[in-house]
Chains A and B, each alone.
Chain A
Amino acid sequence: MPKANPVKTRSMKMSARTSRLGLAGLLVLLLGLGTGCSDFLEVTNPGPLTDEQLNDPAAMAGLVTGMSADLSFGLSRAAFVVSLAAGEQNHGGSYLWAGQASRGLITDAMEEAPHVWGFMHRARWVAEAGLDRMQEVMGGDFTSSPLSARAYLLAGYSNRLLGETVCDAVFDGQAPVDFSQHFDRAEAHFTESIGIAQAAGASTLETSARAGRATVRAALGDWSGAVSDAAQVPTDFQYDAIFSLNTTREYNYVYSETGNRLEASVFNTDWEEVFDDPRVPWDTIYDSGGGLRVGQDGLTPHFQQGKYPGWDENIPLVKGAEMRMIEAEAQLRAGNVDEAFNLVNEQRAHFGLPALETPGRPTRGMHSSRSTSPWSGSKAGTSGI
């Protein structure tokens, strides 16, 4: 049988003493907590940087690398979505946006998972806002630094990407304007880049900027300017957006969705009938039991693009071979078909392909050459003739 609660039968003298002790103890504890609180309440979380922390000359290299990283990030996603929209690849998976893009529903696809619209705009904003910051932070060094030349170069390519992809240009949250303004900005940035690269002795940057300017001048219809720049770019020149196995953020997204996940296939595209063209490589793949693998929808045979066979495959931003095609197009516009074909064949020779016979007039073969060169690449079929 339980007994009375002993706690409640203690003497009151004991209570008084322990009360005072307890109270004193509590006060000491609370006082200790209070005095220790000033440090305790200071909260500094590591990881992200504040905007002000970037205003340091030593941070400029990282800032420019960030421009490059964001351009690569946006470019590879744009390349994948546009490859679906342009019919270079066919949807064989289960992404909503990929299916929509494959059926030409670009607007929704752009707003969906890969957020292509946002990634492309981020690349532009990071480059252009970064240039403003660099000018302020670097002072007089800005005009002669290879970093500045590269920053302008990346600002040019990020604008070119938008100009080739979007219907309206939007800058810094303002009202939409004509998409060609991206090309205008790109041309200006490339011009700045050329000047600083020359001053800094950075020839690769200078050539890349010329090549880039040639492409946007062509897009703007300035064919003489385009040819003038293109002529200074060797056929074997190439300037890449960089991808890497270093981190998943640096992965080539085209490979992620075609080599790792089987979301898109060359099956049922024009290119499934084109074999042994190094410009449009693809192949079938098989499972361990010898069965032809199908896409993520479980139905579509997976003809895997081979242009980017790994996460670390760079995507060309510009090629000298494309310069020959710009020159060829300029010749065609001038009615010089033979000259144009000579340039096309120069390009084909670069890829180890046999020369085409000059027909004396434009042909579908020329169409193919113009569009296959950047297949799943920098222009992703959006600027075909």
Chain B
Amino acid sequence: MLRSALMLLTTLALVYPAGAQVETTASLDLNEPELISQIAPASELLERRAHLSVEDVTLDEGLHALREASGVPLAFSPSRLEGNGTVTCRCDDATVQTALDRLLAGTDFEFVPLDGRILIESSDRGRAAPESGSAADRLFQDLRSSVATTELRLVARSPQQFGRTGTVTGRVVSLETGQPLGAAQVEAVGTGLGAITDAAGQYSIASVPAGEVQIRVQTIGHATQSRTVQVVAGESIQVDFELRQEAIGLDAIVVTGQAGATRRREVGVSIGGLSASDIDLAPVSGTQEMLAGRVPGATVMANTGQPGRGGTMVLRGLNSLTQGNSPLIYVDGVRMFSEGAAGGLMPFNDINPGDIDRIEVVRGPAATTIYGTEASAGVIQIFTKRGTDGRAVWEAETQFGFNQWDPSTSQDPSGFFLAECTGPNLVTSQGVQFEDVTCPSSGSWLELGQVQRHFLSVRGGSEDPSFQYYLSGNFNREGGVIAPGSSNDRGVRANFDFAPADNLSFGARVMYNQRESQFLPDGNNFRGFLLNVTRGPANNYKIGADPANDLIREQELTNEHDHYVLGFSVDHTPSDRFNQQLRIGYDYNAIVNENHRPFGHATDVPGFISVQDWKHYVLSFDYSGSFRNQFGDNVTSRFSWGGQLFEDTRRQLNVTGNEFAGPGQPTVTSASRTSTTADIRLRVINAGMFIEEQIGLFDRLYITAGARFDGNSAFGDDFGIQMYPKLNASYIISDHDFWPLEWAEPVQLRAAVGDAGRAPGAFDAVQTWNPISGDDGSPAFTPGQLGNPDLGPERSREYEVGMDATFLQGRLGVDVSYFHQTTRDALIGMAPPASLGFLSSQLENVGVIESTGVELELTGVFLQSDQLDWRGRFHLATSNSEAVDVAGQEIILGSGRWNNFIREGYPVPSLFGTRVVNAGEMAEPVLEEDQFIGTVYPTRTLGMGTTLTALNGQVTLDVHGEFQGGHYLQNAVGFQNALRNVWVPCYEAQQAAAAGDPSALNSIPAEDRYKCLSPDEPYSYPGWLESADFFKLRSASLNLQLPERWIPGAETARLTLSGRNLLTITDYTGLDPEVTDFGFSVQRQEYYNIPPTRRFLASLRVTF
């Protein structure tokens, strides 16, 4: 009997790390299949109750009885147990471990946990094993050797080898709602077989070896569930699952910031993100809008409402003064150009939202060490959709809607003279009536900007050969609220996956997007539309004495953007323990900006044209591998290594032409005078490698340590190799048996520390001279960069602690983190003395910046039934920075008049200006000059939303809002317009002042007197630094599932009505608290920029 029991070890193989596999099988009996059971941690097996009471039985009988009574798999060789006399164990209340101790006491055997079972083996296993014996004995010997060399694994028996298989089918649904769960992974544990559920939650796994098999299901957002079933050869068994919702999915796989695909439970840092379902209903036009207000710690500020342009995005605030704070962007493992591009575009937004499967966000150096230099601002990785086996599934979506803006209020019915450009409301504070003689017939400059979006995708695949595909195309047209602002883009994507074998797969990703935008001149530009219109009669474009702002629109600002991303990947898994990946990527952006003032233009009669040809390529090679090992049941090891190389190339050519001979559509060569104003060719190589070791204990404690070695061509020929270390730990404390809180599971505690860096520019380390021309076109030189051969990267170190937990049986999820970042050797532009001839500021590693913050994310299910599901989400993130050391300098960002400074002891950056001490008093203003007013970037952000699903999922209502606060913005619009008597909030004060009666000012508060009545220092704006706190209702949508019969052939059909930026609540008096005139620069100020507008959309999505 014992011999037959041993035979249940059906398939054992030694696998060599290099990938060549040697199958070791034996002709074994399957009569006692219970030994193939769920792999449980050894500690759990040994701590089970033995339920054993035997007296004077042979050792093999005792072990057999223990196995039967406790259910713990025991593996032993009966031939080796003979001759050990009898044993007695009254161990009913004892643990398995105690029982084994007693049974094996005085024998030559001991027990060893091994892959979910307990192996009984000889105590002298270190000695050479006998060569003779049965096949089972020899197998046992192999097994012992493997244990000793830690190279053992259990491999499923191929069904073809035994011809005894069955089929497992079933359905996976939500425990709470009963709704099917599609795309869930179903696995027959230990067999290498699995399936993915379809939209109806159905799955089927064929060729499952007969016997007891553990079926495990996992999907994001739900607790992993396993069931052990008896598979009968030639038969099919139905195994259904009801998965409990789990707010924190610790078995979810994450990739970003890790050496490879890793379970979240193994990761000691916070990883934020979104899945497609999170933003499925939101009316977004780009990736940045998807993230706005959705990911704690990610601050997205729209910057502008010009269609096609992008916004500023930072993770955990600012940690660099000069090197940008944009996170690195990856798409399917390919690094993209991550900064703002020419023309104010953000290439990140070219990824069509419909193509996105999920987004991972790692926020700081503790999590980004593996990316080395360039990664201190965090990393965002986008995963696009992939094909699935089976027939082609088509999805089509079409959206129609409009953008809208109405700045009028009861105080200012003309809405900054934008909503009305004629009529009685166009009046200055001094009572001067005016109207624009070029005002459109509608009486308003504003219009509804038409929006169209069309999207079509197909996904499918074949089983043999294994090939999956995902193809999509989209066309979008977005009209601005002031003509001719608009942006049209069209794109295609093709994702292919091909697996010629179990352990080898290839992937190819291709994206192409083409965008054509036309911008309205705006911002700090005397030819800007908002600057002129909102200044009323004090504008720059007139016919006679009257404003004629339509003349501005003779100027054309156009932008063409071609963007493609190519990615090729190889995933090779020679064994369960060894895998390696290679990613090769190419990201290409080509932008042409054109600025054209035609012949006869109102302020430039001869005409002008400029063309900027801007290209940026990122070529990336990324190789990584990892080797997993297991020491007994409870200790795992994963050693990872890898190397990356990035080539970053920028080409830019600016040409201008002045003075045309006559009208027409010119090129630069049409002009009588042409000039090349920029020819930039920069190439930077960043290369590095990393090693990382992770130790896992009991599958509940993981400790990871690693280091990245990085070099950058900006540091010269030796690449200035830098080392960035990391250390983090993850502890699933709720996995302990002693965990007393059943209502709080799982609970993960995290702690991490890690470094990352930022490299300076290509020429910052060397002294250079710039070629110029002088003396009417003769070649010449002028000083360029002073140079600093000792320049190094700035280094950021981050400490992070946190907790992920699920409470109340999945109804409440909590993710909370605290971080502390310190950037040392911060690169600061130090102005050399002008008398040394080099005027460009020279970067020096002299600064220290600190930043701390807390991120709290809550997800909750308020109500759940078959008919109704109501859940909510909330997050709070704080970020407080301080310039600890800036070498005693005051750093002026841009120009002093923007009042954006970096000073020691204050946030980065800060606004300093004049404070009216008695702001609210009806008195002469009492001023304190050069006072700290506040920080430029939000110190706290809140995201909050709720989703209500009713009528068994037929109707869904989703609302999401965002608050950004704690920051200030310079309202230059208010100042400039007040100076010209056309700022409505100043009308009362200015009219009182003009009355000639000093007592008229008695009702005017001191702050208004200061701001509105000729400040002491014109054009320096010190009193116009306003709180920019705002709440915006980012999105609201109503989703209706349509009956399938309404659209013949459709599997599903959905109608969605949605709106974006529907409501703004703020005390800021400018046009919008979210905009800036400085694009992607660190400093911010509003200066006549078109604000983000409302968007209304109706969408129909059909799958067939």
Closest Cβ of chain A to B366, distance in Å, is 30
B774/A172 in contact, CB under 8 A? no
Q: How far is the CA of A73 from the CA of B621 in the complex (A)?
A: 46
Judge whether B112 is part of the interface by a CB distance below 8 angstroms: no
* B residues 1-50 in Cβ contact with A at 8 Å: 18-21, 23
A4/B572 in contact, CB under 8 A? no
Judge whether B656 is part of the interface by a CB distance below 8 angstroms: yes
Judge whether A199 is part of the interface by a CB distance below 8 angstroms: no
A43/B713 in contact, CB under 8 A? yes
A19/B574 in contact, CB under 8 A? yes
User: Which residues of the partner chain A approach B683 to less than 8 Å between Cβ atoms?
Assistant: 43, 45
Closest Cβ of chain A to B459, distance in Å, is 13
User: Which residues of the partner chain A approach B679 to less than 8 Å between Cβ atoms?
Assistant: 47
CB nearest to A292 among chain B residues = B545
Closest Cβ of chain A to B744, distance in Å, is 35
Q: How far is the CA of A94 from the CA of B504 in the complex (A)?
A: 65
Judge whether B685 is part of the interface by a CB distance below 8 angstroms: yes
Residue from A18, A48, A289 within 8 A of B504 (CB atoms): A18
Closest Cβ of chain B to A25, distance in Å, is 8
User: Which residues of the partner chain A approach B670 to less than 8 Å between Cβ atoms?
Assistant: none
Judge whether A364 is part of the interface by a CB distance below 8 angstroms: no
A7/B502 in contact, CB under 8 A? yes
CB nearest to B781 among chain A residues = A66
Of residues B502, B673, B683, B719, which shows the largest number of chain A Cβ atoms within 10 Å of its Cβ?
Answer: B502
A291/B545 in contact, CB under 8 A? yes
Judge whether B865 is part of the interface by a CB distance below 8 angstroms: no
User: Which residues of the partner chain A approach B502 to less than 8 Å between Cβ atoms?
Assistant: 7-8, 10, 12, 14-15, 18
User: Which residues of the partner chain B approach A8 to less than 8 Å between Cβ atoms?
Assistant: 192-194, 502
CB nearest to B19 among chain A residues = A19
Q: How far is the CA of A48 from the CA of B895 in the complex (A)?
A: 26
B504/A22 in contact, CB under 8 A? yes
CB nearest to A251 among chain B residues = B675
User: Which residues of the partner chain A approach B647 to less than 8 Å between Cβ atoms?
Assistant: 40
CB nearest to B659 among chain A residues = A245
Residue from B540, B574, B621 within 8 A of A23 (CB atoms): B574
Closest Cβ of chain B to A312, distance in Å, is 8
Closest Cβ of chain B to A156, distance in Å, is 17
Closest Cβ of chain B to A135, distance in Å, is 17
Closest Cβ of chain B to A291, distance in Å, is 5
CB nearest to B778 among chain A residues = A65
User: Which residues of the partner chain B approach A19 to less than 8 Å between Cβ atoms?
Assistant: 19-21, 501, 503-504, 572, 574
Interface 9-residue window, one of B762-770, B813-821, B1075-1083 = B762-770
User: Which residues of the partner chain B approach A12 to less than 8 Å between Cβ atoms?
Assistant: 21, 23, 155, 158, 502
B621/A48 in contact, CB under 8 A? no
Interface residues as binary, A282-324 with B (CB distance below 8 Å gives 1, 0 otherwise): 0000011111011011110000000000001000000000000
B542/A49 in contact, CB under 8 A? no
Closest Cβ of chain A to B341, distance in Å, is 20
Judge whether B658 is part of the interface by a CB distance below 8 angstroms: yes
A5/B1018 in contact, CB under 8 A? no
A246/B538 in contact, CB under 8 A? no
Interface 9-residue window, one of B204-212, B249-257, B403-411, B852-860 = B204-212
Judge whether A334 is part of the interface by a CB distance below 8 angstroms: no
Interface residues as binary, B538-566 with A (CB distance below 8 Å gives 1, 0 otherwise): 11111111101000000000000000000
B762/A45 in contact, CB under 8 A? yes
Judge whether B390 is part of the interface by a CB distance below 8 angstroms: yes
CB nearest to A130 among chain B residues = B781
Are A122 and B538 also in contact (CB < 8 A) when A4-B195, A14-B502, A48-B784 are?
no
User: How many of A's residues come within 8 Å of B, CB to CB?
Assistant: 98
Q: How far is the CA of A202 from the CA of B679 in the complex (A)?
A: 36
Judge whether A242 is part of the interface by a CB distance below 8 angstroms: yes
Count of A-B contacts judged by CB separation below 8 Å: 309
Residue from A1, A20, A30, A47 within 8 A of B204 (CB atoms): A1
Q: How far is the CA of A385 from the CA of B656 in the complex (A)?
A: 44
Judge whether B106 is part of the interface by a CB distance below 8 angstroms: no
A3/B204 in contact, CB under 8 A? yes
* A residues 344-375 in Cβ contact with B at 8 Å: none
Are A65 and B198 also in contact (CB < 8 A) when A2-B204, A3-B389, A15-B501 are?
no
A2/B895 in contact, CB under 8 A? no
Q: How far is the CA of A294 from the CA of B466 in the complex (A)?
A: 73
Q: How far is the CA of A63 from the CA of B389 in the complex (A)?
A: 69
B572/A245 in contact, CB under 8 A? no
Judge whether A62 is part of the interface by a CB distance below 8 angstroms: yes
Judge whether B580 is part of the interface by a CB distance below 8 angstroms: yes
B770/A48 in contact, CB under 8 A? yes
Judge whether A35 is part of the interface by a CB distance below 8 angstroms: no
* A residues 27-44 in Cβ contact with B at 8 Å: 29-30, 33, 37, 40-41, 43
A48/B769 in contact, CB under 8 A? yes
Closest Cβ of chain A to B214, distance in Å, is 16
Closest Cβ of chain A to B674, distance in Å, is 10
* B residues 674-688 in Cβ contact with A at 8 Å: 675-677, 679-685, 687
Are A65 and B780 also in contact (CB < 8 A) when A1-B204, A246-B773 are?
yes
A172/B836 in contact, CB under 8 A? yes
A65/B774 in contact, CB under 8 A? yes
Judge whether B500 is part of the interface by a CB distance below 8 angstroms: yes
Judge whether A126 is part of the interface by a CB distance below 8 angstroms: yes
A69/B570 in contact, CB under 8 A? no
A4/B538 in contact, CB under 8 A? no
Judge whether B277 is part of the interface by a CB distance below 8 angstroms: no
Q: How far is the CA of A49 from the CA of B770 in the complex (A)?
A: 6
A170/B544 in contact, CB under 8 A? no
A4/B774 in contact, CB under 8 A? no
CB nearest to B976 among chain A residues = A94
Closest Cβ of chain B to A141, distance in Å, is 19
Residue from B19, B538, B543, B781 within 8 A of A20 (CB atoms): B19
Closest Cβ of chain A to B657, distance in Å, is 11
* B residues 618-670 in Cβ contact with A at 8 Å: 621, 623, 645, 647, 656, 658
Q: How far is the CA of A6 from the CA of B207 in the complex (A)?
A: 11
B895/A112 in contact, CB under 8 A? yes
Are A299 and B538 also in contact (CB < 8 A) when A2-B196, A62-B781, A96-B1019 are?
yes
Residue from A3, A10, A29, A97 within 8 A of B195 (CB atoms): A3
* B residues 504-543 in Cβ contact with A at 8 Å: 504-505, 526, 535, 537-543
* A residues 50-83 in Cβ contact with B at 8 Å: 50-51, 53-54, 59, 61-63, 65-66, 68-70, 72
Judge whether B999 is part of the interface by a CB distance below 8 angstroms: no
Q: How far is the CA of A212 from the CA of B575 in the complex (A)?
A: 85
Residue from A4, A30, A54 within 8 A of B781 (CB atoms): A54
CB nearest to B539 among chain A residues = A298
B538/A297 in contact, CB under 8 A? yes
B390/A2 in contact, CB under 8 A? yes
B837/A129 in contact, CB under 8 A? yes
A69/B768 in contact, CB under 8 A? no
* B residues 66-95 in Cβ contact with A at 8 Å: none
A-B complex: 8 closest residue pairs judged by Cβ atoms: A69-B774, A298-B538, A125-B837, A289-B543, A18-B501, A48-B768, A19-B19, A65-B780
Q: 8 A–B contact pairs at CB < 8 A?
A: A8-B193, A19-B503, A29-B582, A69-B773, A129-B837, A173-B832, A243-B776, A298-B538
Interface residues of A, Cβ cutoff 8 Å to B: 1-12, 14-23, 25-26, 29-30, 33, 37, 40-41, 43, 45-51, 53-54, 59, 61-63, 65-66, 68-70, 72, 94-97, 99-100, 108, 111-113, 115, 117-119, 121-122, 124-126, 129, 170-174, 242-250, 261-262, 287-291, 293-294, 296-299, 312
Interface residues of B, Cβ cutoff 8 Å to A: 18-21, 23, 155, 158-160, 169, 192-198, 202-207, 389-390, 463-464, 466, 499-505, 526, 535, 537-546, 548, 570, 572, 574, 580, 582, 602, 621, 623, 645, 647, 656, 658, 673, 675-677, 679-685, 687, 713, 719, 762-763, 766-785, 787, 832-839, 895-897, 976, 979-980, 1018-1020
Could you list 16 further interchain pairs (A-B, Cβ under 8 angstroms) beyond the known A19-B504, A262-B540? A2-B198, A4-B193, A4-B207, A15-B502, A19-B572, A41-B685, A47-B680, A62-B771, A65-B778, A66-B782, A69-B772, A99-B1018, A247-B773, A248-B677, A291-B545, A298-B540
